[in-house]
Amino acid sequence: MSLFRIENLTYRYGDNTAPALDIPHLVIEEGGIVCLTGANGSGKSTLLSLLAGLLRPTSGRIHYRGDDLTGGPRNLLERMRLDMGVCLQSPYLFRTTVEKNVAFGLTARGVQGVKKTRRTESALRDVGLVDFGKRPYHALSGGEIQRVALARALALDPRVLLLDEPMANVDAATRLLLERILEKLIRTRGITIIISTHDVDQALRLGRHIITLHEGHVVESGLENIFHGSVRKARDGWYFDTGLCRFFVPHQKEDARTAIIPPETILLSLDPMETSARNVLRGKVTGIRMRSGSVEVAVRAGEEFRSRITETSLERLGLRLGMDLYLLIKAEAVRLY
Ligand code: ADP
Ligand code: MG
């Protein structure tokens, strides 16, 4: 059973505004780290708030572990909220000690005595702040504040942890530390962590499932080959111009600003062979990376393109860094947004 299943979801912040989110279908499975990526304003926080049950959809359905949260009885939503640990983008700490901040949710739920102390300590241990219990809230760095907020959510023993850009305002060392903490939580507690980040490398490093949002839509292809530019008309068809390169596109959506090319649709060739592909771009290999089950080849042809090929193709082509080759891309493979 899926953790979340979204059907025909829209969310609008006002009656006459365009939807901040419009997701026809999305499934999130249980376990591991799920990364939500996308530029500012793409809808990451809105989606997290909907998943946390803090916002109600304007239309459509969200199923949590098979139960329809949107059409179901209210107590279902309340029960679901008990499973969620939520850390919003700028965590707010109460003007008291770290310990009391972490115990806050437990106190609110009537957990008292030894049980409260034990769960508070265990949460502080999980985030590496076991000796910080008595510190006042104002004697903490930005990264420590994030970790206290994380401990506060963990103390409630959530099944799902929703984190909104927890790494946005911390230094590189803290970011690595937080990443390690999250990975350990996955191993030791077996929970699902859904985290938003605009750091693409981080998403690739952490995420079992990467969901990319663009202007409220889920982009299908993942993170590779997302280009910004505009659609233009030439005598022989419509093309997309990024400023650094151009390629033919299907002719709908003249006002598109983003073009996405799924990496498995980009073919590599050593000669500019006769092909039905409309786009034949000459480029240079800039990266070869083994992935599970496939090889990712980066090619600079004005922009950097990423192609996914098999190991057999890698050998057959004899690819090396710095080698010149051709990218073959069908116009129909380009998705416009
Ligand atoms: P992200 O977290 O990816 O930066 P958000 O979910 O915050 O994106 O925002 C998605 C869209 O919804 C943006 O266009 C934003 O301006 C709009 N939006 C977000 N919060 C509000 C709000 N409280 N009122 C009106 N519009 C909002
Ligand atoms: Mg946000």
Say if CB 162 and CB 149 are below 8 A apart: no
142 and 33 in a single domain? The answer is yes
Tokens 């073919």, residue located: 267
State the ligand closest to the CA atom of 37: 1
Domain holding 183, by residue range, is 4-219
> What CATH number does residue 94 fall under?
3.40.50.300
Angstrom distance (rounded) from CA 333 to CA 277? 10
Give yes or no: residues 16 and 104 share one domain: yes
**Is 40's C-beta closer than 6 angstroms to any atom of ligand 1?**
yes
Ligand 2 centroid–CA 77 distance in Å is 23
* Ligand 1 probe mutation, 42, 58, 88, 211, most atoms within 8 A of CB: 42
Confidence (pLDDT) at 326: 96
In short, whether 212's Cβ falls inside 6 Å of ligand 1 is no
36 in contact with ligand 1, CB cutoff 6 A: no
Q: Which of 29, 26, 21, 27 is nearest to 59 (CA)?
A: 21
Q: Are 255 and 317 in a shared domain?
A: yes
Residue 131 is given by DSSP the state: G
pLDDT tens profile 261-312: 988 899 999 988 777 788 999 999 999 988 767 888 999 999 999 999 998 9
Q: Please, how many CA atoms are within 13 Å of residue 324, restricted to the half-sphere of its CB?
A: 5
Looking at residue 198, what is its pLDDT? Answer: 80
- Which residues of the chain fall short of a pLDDT of 70? 220-223, 292
pLDDT of residue 292: 65
Close Cβ partners of 248 (under 8 Å, ≥ 6 residues apart): 237, 238, 239, 240, 278, 279, 331, 334
Query: Which atom from ligand 1 is nearest to the alpha carbon of 14?
Result: 25
The pLDDT of residue 274: 75
DSSP string, 38-87: -STTSSHHHHHHHHTTSS--SEEEEEETTEETTTS-HHHHHHHHHHEEEE
CATH number, position 285: 2.40.50.100
If asked whether residues 321 and 249 sit together in one domain, one would say: yes
**Do 335 and 240 touch, CB atoms closer than 8 A?**
no
Q: Would you state the pLDDT for residue 335?
A: 87
Is there an atom of ligand 1 within 6 Å of 16 CB? no
In the prediction, which pLDDT does 38 show?
85
- Phi/psi for 157 (5° steps) reads 55, 55
Q: Which of 189, 219, 249 is the last residue of a domain?
A: 219
